[in-house]
Amino acid sequence: MTYSVKEIFYTLQGEGAQSGRAAVFCRFAGCNFWSGREQDRANADCSFCDTDFIGTDGPGGGKFKTAAALAEAARVCWDGMADATGTPYIVCTGGEPLMQLDSPLITAFQKKGFEVAVETNGSLPCPPELDWICVSPKSLDKLVQLTGDELKLVYPQTPVKPEDVAHLKFDHFYLQPLDEADHNHVPATLDYCRRHPQWKLSLQTHKILGIA
């Protein structure tokens, strides 16, 4: 299988329970909820995406013909920045990573020493080998991944409300303020978390810091 990757970069996880942890990010190209084109945004299953995931033209991006080749590129990215202490960590995101991230690729990352995390919209089942699952639902109808490590809901959004997913089997429940031009959703998110302590606040710290 050929893997289409928009970009591979090294930064700190900015969101959720692993926030602050050094990681290689592997951003897969393409999403099943939106074409990525602005003219399609209004009618997409997910209309608030903050990410360019079209094509393979980003830093470290490309088409990788084998799982081993992609895992090697990720490890080179890690070794170029990190010293030998600490467990190598890779966050597979996108776009929708589970359109491409399969068991052989997860295993290839693990053979290179990585703990493997995914950021997914939950519309495709997670392979069992994953070390960390973060589901961020955008549609109740299309939600099939009902368990994982963290559920990170963008708030507010019309399709999915916190009450719709609060009963699912996750260890951590986060609300992440919708990042939208001309509107600050942090106060409303803060207020919800104060009233419903099951939910913790996830700020997109990389945006605050101005890093990738």
Ligand X SMILES: C[S@@+](CC[C@H](N)C(=O)[O-])C[C@H]1O[C@@H](n2cnc3c(N)ncnc32)[C@H](O)[C@@H]1O
Residue numbering of the annotated binding site for substrate: 12-14, 27, 93
Binding residue ranges for Mg(2+)? 51
Please, are residues 12 and 211 in contact by the beta-carbon 8 Å criterion?
yes
Please, are residues 171 and 200 in contact by the beta-carbon 8 Å criterion?
no
Q: Which residues contact 65 (CB under 8 A, 6 or more apart)?
A: 2
* Residue 31 is a catalytic residue: yes
- Helix-then-strand count for the chain, H and E: 5, 11
- Interaction of residue 13 with ligand 2KA, rule CB under 6 A: yes
* CB atoms inside a 10 Å sphere around CB 145: 19
- Interaction of residue 143 with ligand SF4, rule CB under 6 A: no
* Residue 50 is a catalytic residue: yes
* Residue 25 is a catalytic residue: yes
Of these residues, 15, 96, 119, 150, which one is catalytic? Answer: 119
Q: Which of 8, 24, 49, 98 binds ligand SF4 (CB under 6 A)?
A: 49
Q: Which of ligand SF4, ligand X, ligand 2KA, none binds 206 (CB below 5-8 Å, type-dependent)? A: ligand 2KA
Burial classification of residue 122, based on how many CB atoms lie within 10 Å of its CB (0-12 exposed, 13-18 middle, 19 or more buried): buried
Instruction: Build a one-symbol-per-residue string for 188-207: x at contacts with ligand 2KA by CB under 6 A, - elsewhere.
Output: ------------------x-
Nearer to ligand 2KA, 22 or 168 (CB): 22
**In angstroms, what CA-CA distances link 12 with 25, 30, 61, 154, 168?**
9, 23, 19, 20, 28
Q: Which of 13, 121, 145, 189 binds ligand X (CB under 6 A)?
A: 121
* Residue 119 is a catalytic residue: yes
- Binding residues for ligand X (CB under 6 A): 31, 48-51, 93-94, 96, 119-121, 136, 152, 154, 176, 178-179
